[in-house]
Amino acid sequence: MSVKVLETKEVRDLLKAAANLEGKEGNLRFKQVLHRLLSDLFKAIDDLDITPDEVWAGVNYLNKLGQDGEAALLAAGIGLEKYLDIRMDAADKAAGLEGGTPRTIEGPLYVAGVPVRDGVAKIDVNPDADAGPLVIHGTVTDAAGRPVAGALVECWHANSKGFYSHFDPTGAQSDFNLRGAVRTDANGKYEFHTLMPVGYGCPPQGATQQLLNGIARHGNRPAHVHFFVSADNQRKLTTQFNIEGDPLIWDDFAYATREELIPPVTEKTGGAALGLKADAYKDIEFNFVLTPLVQGKDNQVVHRLRAAAAA
């Protein structure tokens, strides 16, 4: 069956009616975007001869995706979240805004509400026999290289099983385990005492992994640590670093790896004096460079639904 019906008056009118394009009420932007997305979908059905069975398989897939609560996970896995970064990078370049720490995707696993500490925070709450101690530290500076005192550095990462607290299916972690927030000191310094993470894998029975299986892709990420860094008069930075040496560093299912976001991991001793669980520990220095507001506004801040917990 190779019919083309998109360009008929009947279908044009159907698309306009479905999006209420000519109605006076409703949100104009919403109508515009919906009309365009529906039109593109209808065009794909025409062009690729997508069958009714395939359409209903897709509709049922959306139901499973919602039931699994994985729409934001899928957004990372199909490159949608990376695409938004590529667009923000391009917008920055066009505006002559360069030189800050590169952004990379937030992902779906941030939890708001973690208590804020001054300068240093120990963020491993639950014991994890398979994870060694890790110290993450550095300086927050502005684009001119001046240390930013009082900047808020938030971090979150997985445990030795690749699970994040609040989303851990084993129930092994308390709410803010491996999540922290510190205010930089007068020299712009921050420090987290934590445990070495392992890479994340999509839930094997979930909708995201189901889609990836169908196209022969894996759903794994290299070990990584997420950050938000915010300060007065600076744009909020969303980024991550990867743990050097992870075999998946250039094979991340969410496409978050960037050359500048792979800091060296150093072996150190003296962990006992720092209160770490072993004297030998790993150390990562990671410095953040923020970028200024654009015409007084943070044009890179992203609003999205995020989990929250009470301290």
The partner residues of 248 in beta bridges, in order of sequence, read none
**What binding mask, one character per residue, do residues 13-42 give for ligand MBD by CB under 6 A, x or -?**
------------------------------
Q: Which of 198, 186, 218, 175 is nearest to 128 (CA)?
A: 198
Rule CB under 6 A: choose which of 15, 19, 65, 73 binds ligand MBD: 73
Cβ-proximal residue to ligand MBD, closest one: 107
State yes or no: residue 248 binds ligand MBD (CB under 6 A): no
Helix, coil or strand: residue 54: helix
**For residue 277, what are the contacts with CB-CB under 8 A and spacing of at least 6?**
132, 133, 195, 271
**Residue 104 CB, nearest distance to Fe ion (Å)?**
10
Nearer residue to ligand MBD within complex by CB, 100 or 108: 108
State yes or no: residue 156 binds ligand MBD (CB under 6 A): no
**Residue 166 CB, nearest distance to ligand MBD (Å)?**
12
Helix, coil or strand: residue 118: strand
State yes or no: residue 211 binds ligand MBD (CB under 6 A): no
Helix/strand/coil (H/E/C) assignment for every residue in 246-304:
CCCCCCCCCCCCCHHHCCCCEEECCCCCCCCCCCCEEEEECCEECCECECCECCCCCCC
Cα–Cα distance, 55 to 260 (Å, whole number): 42
Residues contributing to the site for Fe ion (CB under 5 A): 107
Task: Give the pair of three-digit tokens for residue 137.
Answer: 């530290």
**Residue 72 CB, nearest distance to ligand MBD (Å)?**
8
Q: Which range, of 44-52, 94-102, 106-114, 297-305, touches ligand MBD by CB under 6 A?
A: 106-114
Rule CB under 6 A: choose which of 103, 161, 166, 221 binds ligand MBD: 221
Q: Which residues bind ligand MBD (CB under 6 A)?
A: 73, 76, 105, 107-109, 200, 221, 254
